Structure 1
Amino acid sequence: MLQRNEVPNPVTFAYPGNKFGPEAFKVLSENGYRFARRGMQPEVAYGKRQMGPLYDPQVHHPLLIPTTADAYPVWDLGYFKSVVDRAEPGKFVVLQFHGVPDIAHPWVHSDPDKFKQFMQYLKEEEFTVIGLNQIESYLPDDYEPPEDPYIDFRFTGKMEIRSLTPEQLATRDQLEYWVDNMRRFHRFTWDEIAEATGYPSSKIERLSANFSEVIQKDRDRLTVLPYPGGRHPRIGFLEGMIDPMRGTKLSVFLPWDEFQYAILDLPEAIFCQNGLVFLGHTHVPTMWDYQLASIENRDWVISDDGTLRNSWTLPNGIEISALVTPLRDSVDMELTVKNDSDEDMEFINGQVCIMLKGAEEFDELTNENKTLTDSVAAARSEGGNRWILTQWDQLRRTWGNPRCPCLHFDPILDPCKAGETVTVKGRIWFHEGDNPPIGLKD
């Protein structure tokens, strides 16, 4: 293909995920590659803000060029200067940037404004910046690659690759429940169930052959179930919700159709004076991404009375919890922040999303079917006679994203001193009839 389009054969390479081994080295050597860059590992442990070696052509084979510094969100101009100022005659500082910004991989995100500062410093100090394919001009004419000790070394990455995600493992632990949830209520295909369980579709269908219906409906309250994952909860703007955390998401089934549901994301996000402290998926970096810390999924705990609870403890001791209580015609919600950190919290803003992909009468990609006021956020069905409504005690803002589509009545919480707890309450309810619900009439 390259030859047919008169594209020169590549001569440089970057090891994917910074993993390398003798087999890859051999393939590159036999196919005419001249230079290849690996990571800082194994000299430096992954995730540490610590410098790797300079590239020394007398020590390192050109197909195993080490990274001197791998950009992390915590980098600032001072640290960048300390890296590039290490350059020596005959030795190279090798920089590795992943994305500016890197939304999909926030743990290696580089802030665009900081990146501009870095590049400006290189320009002002008159550094010579080259690509791998330009290294050869800086080597002696009689250069011979050294016997690099890592030629026969295999580096497999920062950790062993897990064949199953934590959510898939949790699904397998309660397989009969989750298959009933997915198949009978959410009407997943076997391929979607395979995605959620990690089993091939033929195997999970066979395993489920003798499963029973373990989820019991209660006629005295609306059906609210944990959203199982395996199917993305949005129609569009998927790049804004990568790796959705299922532990923040619940399906609220509509009172007029047992197979239609809206997906509640509680909380989708929490902000305070320090920035974004919690996010129920991957998109923009949280403050923990900058510290190379992660928040793992926790599945909802369901009580005998139908209430659903979940909580997450953040690295600084703050606990975020959600409580959802299904009633006959509505759903009560509570969002709580318990501040066990050493710092008072201010400007605590919640983001609570109601996604409409599973509600066919409400899933048009528009905001024209929504009413967004200071007292309520509502979505109207295509026929105009059904409504999904939501509100919280304290309003931050109401809005909708037509690309998802979704509906928001985002709450604001009171300031929370260290050692204290604050809670805000909300609800979701429904209306059916030719007349608009109270509060939406002209």
Structure 2
Amino acid sequence: MTLARRLAAALSFVAVAALTACASAAPGTPASAAASVDIPDTPVGERVSWIIDRLEADADTTPGEWARVLHESFLAQVPAEQVAELVNRQLRPAAPFTVTAYQGTETQAVATLAGALGDPFDLSLTIDGASRITGMVFGPVAEPWSPSASLGEVEQRLADLPGEVSALVLRGDEEALAVDANRLAPLASAFKLYVLLAVADAVASGDLSWDEKLVLRDIDRSLPSGELQTAPTGTEVSVRDAASAMIRISDNTATDLLITRLGRERVEAAVERSGHSDPAVLSPFFSTKELFTLGWGDASLRAEWKSADDAGKRALLDRIDAAPLAVEVADVATPVWQDGFDWFASANDIAAVHRALQQTQDAEVLGILSENPGQGLDLGTWPYAAFKGGSSLGVLTGSWFARDDASEATVVWLMADDDAQAVTGAMSDFFHLAQDALRLAH
């Protein structure tokens, strides 16, 4: 079975058979040494590290440890006692473990673990906004990816991804691959590129400084991803650090602090300046707190939004901003992008905002964009790569701008489906194809 199919099945239901799919992977056979890779500092990366710590601890793991991190939907099908017993009996005897491969977003990941005994295995993990595990499979290592031989083959394989897919590969300004590249698609956290451009414009105009301190209030807190939402009220963070967190770990509260400081109109101006094909779809420009409230909060607010004109929508957003967020992580359970509650742009639009960001020639901007080049991705011979992606229910996005002294390339992948599990299941192929495109575009 392919990795995509195994992941999709695993996330459709959590079964004991799936949890113990690698039970035969830890016999008394010494394993060969394997090279290690770093686990990124993301919410799901931290949860992967937590699991490895449980696998390698001196004492057996306990049901209580797992009960605190497993989502209720998982526990309804596999009790914590059973998880602890299976981990202790089937996996811990192979400790210590080396992570030999890793791919993921903020909330979904596949890590390959090689133990001291037996065969390597894949840990496929999905978490919610509170870092609770909603899907976990220990299974056989996926078949090695067969690299695409041409961009034509990449295009053919993109057609096998689920849902609506847009893709664009540019060599400099030359279009090398395009699939529905003008279609407006949900972006998830890739929208934060526009916020970064607005920050850069404000710094360039002298209206903002990278060193200016932003102060966290209770009404500023959003839901994860990120870390700032758990910081004490009154915490100060510089514009530089907020922008870095926004791009590097997709911190939602940091993003909203920047939008509040800038004013949404300045972000809308950056959208227009970037060359977006239809700036009206990002006006009024949502903060993440506003999107959570409209998408998963009180249904009467959605009805009011849909019937309001521009002035009415802005007034509604002002009301939302004046109160603390009333949506819990558990409320974010179904996709809402189909109803217009997301940020929308085309693949060509995202390529354009990447170009605009590079043209700022601001060392802070270029450095922030390259801090996280995409988890687990082999960038090949590109010495510099800017990246921003995103994932939400039913949405997966990735965008890269790579360059060396002689050339540059842009790769944009946008995928959305009503079936959130299908999107999660296609994550590995999604990133492998991006890796192929970056290599073939050089």
TM-score range, shorter chain: under 0.3
Larger strand proportion of the pair: 1
Higher RCO by CA contacts (8 Å cutoff, separation 6 or greater): 2
TM-score using structure 1 length = 0.25
